Structure 1
Amino acid sequence: MIHRSKAPLRIGLAGGGTDVSPYCDEFGGAILNATISLNANATIELLESDQIVLEAFDRNETATFSWDPTLPIDGHLDLLKGVYNRIQKDYPFEKRGFKLSTFVDAPAGSGLGTSSTLVVAIVGAFTEMLQLPLGEYDIAHYAYEIERTDLKLAGGRQDQYAATFGGVNFMEFYSGDKVIVNPLRIRQRYLDELENNLLLYYTSTSRESAKIIEEQSKNVTEKKQTSIEAMHQLKQQAQMMKEALLKGQLHEIGHILDIGFEQKRKMAQGINNQLIDDIYYAAKEAGATGGKISGAGGGGFMIFYCPGNTKYKVQQTLDQFGGVNRNYQFTKHGLKTWSV
């Protein structure tokens, strides 16, 4: 028997960073994101032996263990091990060997929520295998706890919920781990135009988001008003983005993204650097009306709103920076699981 799952990566359109504690616990956070046709995939194959085999095909990493209910967290395939350890703790299953294989369609540290989406996919595969009674909110929160509590990885909350629910969502974050996912009913023609005009560009660099997020959290704890006010503005940006999409006011999207780009750099050091600035202002010179860094910042993917047919000139302009334009489509589905 083979148990499979896949969960979509996401583009954060507005409000990024307001889902991170302690800001969202004290002030409440808001984010607007959309899932895209890039996925994290997980497969569990039952084995006749009692070995546990872990494979991350996209990272060319593999490890084999004798059966044990707890695998060592040592910096090697920790996301895979972390999910297995938590599942065995909460839903222990019989001694049976298996192979857990994963593949993610974007590099780690690229800003599309790869790590959290992978955790969701792995949780989904085990949920399918064990037929666990977990709903969408349960799976998203479970994945969040594994990353943030068990593995002690710094980060926000949006990625787990985006990967589980899928689609275009306006998300609210409050203290006590309270999350409200509001699916947006956007007219298809508005989504088609947004997809046509929104350029997804990989800078061919990655970053360690944890350090940026830790500084961001520290700035809130230490009451640094510049950082906190920037997060207030980004939360307002999410509201503006929601209204523009629902009303079809797509001509405002670039300006709303531009507001976020200027505010986000105030949240923490390392979010922007010279390469990102050079890429951003070159894209605007070529016709983009705004854009943003995807994820925590520092590298990875960027998005640009290119009205009319300007995206072709923007693409040509960005070739000089050595990055890659990535094709995608918006998706309506979240986590999917099945067995064969």
Structure 2
Amino acid sequence: MIYRSKAPLRLGLAGGGTDVSPYSDMFGGAILNATISLYARAAIEPIAENKVIFESADRKEQLECEAVFPLTCDGKLDILKGVINRVAKDYGIPSGFKLTTFVDAPAGSGLGTSSTLVVAVLGAFAEWLKLPLGEYDMAHLAYCIEREDLQQAGGKQDQYAATFGGVNFMEFYGDKVIVNPLRIKDKYLDELENNLVLYYTSTSRLSSSIISEQQKNVTEKKEASIEAMHHLKEQAVMMKEALLKGTIDKIGEILDYGFQHKKNMAKGISNSQLDEIYEAAKRAGASGGKISGAGGGGFMTFYCPGNTRYAVVDALNAFGGQVKRYHFTHQGVNTWTI
């Protein structure tokens, strides 16, 4: 038997960073994101030997160790070990197994790859062990594994996006998370998909260092950083209204509004290369855009009104990155057995 799972990556459209403590604890956060047709995938095959065999197919990494829990986190595939250790602790694992994983986007690219991979692996375990995990339960458990067990800096949105799927307006109040699925007309979502260009800069970054500085700025009550996050929370509400009302061409301006404020949250969110790409896209016809995730590299998205996407794509290609095709998806983590 093979127990499979896939969970969708996400585009953060507005409010990014306001889901990170301590800002969300002190002021409440708001995020608008949408899942896309790029996935983290996991497969579990039980085996007779008392071993855990890892195969990270996208990273070309393999590892084998005794099935004695907790596994030692030593810098090698720790995110997978973290999931296994929590499942073994909370539910028990009955035998040895092989875990194969694959993610459709590089780590550190700003589409929530790490958190989505945690959700996918949890989904495979839930399918194998018949774990009683609802959507909120799975997302919260994934968050606890990353932020508490593995002590990795970051927010809360990615785990909930991967679990719920679709276009969601999310609210964060301390430990409380509220996911509000948005009922957007198909023609509005089709227009957004047509006009929103996803561009991989062919660089990646360690998001934890940017997020750690962002957290420090809030703790130290740095006014410019906190004010920037207030504006990004407003941006999430603006984005929700534009999508629901169908004023899609306002989205470029809303993205630009957020991009200008996000750069004030912490150092390293943008740099001269990313600013040059951004300005080139705007000269070619984009009305706004953003850096995905914490910033510093990875994917960028640009809103291209009318038929300007073709000129924008041409301008972006000059920088040596890659425009990535995608579709919006409605389903979150999905599991099955073969």
SS in 2 for 1:59: coil
CA distance in 1, matches of 2:263, 2:84: 37
2:177 to 175, 179, 194: 179
Give the aligned partner of residue 80 of structure 1: 80
Any residues of structure 2 matched to 1:29-40 within 5 Å, and which?
A: 29-40=29-40
1:97 is displaced (CA, Å) by 1.4
Report the CA distance between 1:98 and its aligned residue: 0.5
Query: Could you tell me which residue of structure 2 aligns to residue 126 of structure 1?
Result: 125
Counterpart of 1:64? 64
Corresponding letter in the other structure for 2:26: E
**Partner residue, 1:159:** 158
Query: Does residue 288 of structure 2 align to residue 290 of structure 1?
Result: yes
Q: RMSD of the alignment, in Å?
A: 0.5
Partner of 2:93: 93
| 1:136 paired to 2:135 | yes
**Match of residue 228 from structure 2:** 230
Give 1:21's aligned residue: 21
**CA displacement at 1:78 relative to structure 2:** 0.5
Gaps of at least 5 residues in structure 2 are none
What does residue 2 of structure 1 align with? 2
Cα distance in 1 for residues equivalent to 2:329 and 2:163 = 12
AA in 2 matched with 1:211: S
Moved runs in structure 1, 4+ residues, more than 2 A?
Answer: none
Displacement of 1:93 in angstroms is 2.7
CA deviation digits over 1:151-208, x for unaligned, max 9?
Answer: 0000000000000000000000011x10000000000000000000000000000000
Q: Determine which of 245, 248, 262 is the counterpart of 1:247.
A: 245
1:146 paired with 2:106, answer no
The CA deviation string for residues 262-293 of structure 1, in whole angstroms up to 9 with x for no partner, is: 00000000001001100000000000000000
Pairs within 5 Å for 1:185-334: 185-334=183-332
* Distance in 2 of aligned mates of 1:39 and 1:334: 10
- Which amino acid in structure 1 is aligned with residue 264 of structure 2? K
- The percentage of counterpart residues that share the same residue type is 69
Amino acid corresponding to residue 72 of structure 1 in structure 2: T
Distance 1:109 1:118 in 2: 12
In 1, the alpha carbon distance for the partners of 2:63 and 2:262 equals 39
d(CA) in 1 for partners of 2:29 and 2:67?
42
Once the 2 structures are TM-superposed, how far is the Cα of residue 318 of structure 1 from its aligned partner? 1.0
- Consecutive unaligned residues in structure 1, runs of 5 or more: none
Amino acid at match of 1:275: Q
- String of CA shifts for 1:6-62, please: whole Å, max 9, x gaps: 000000000000000000000000000000000000000011222110111000111
Distance 1:70 1:180 in 2: 32
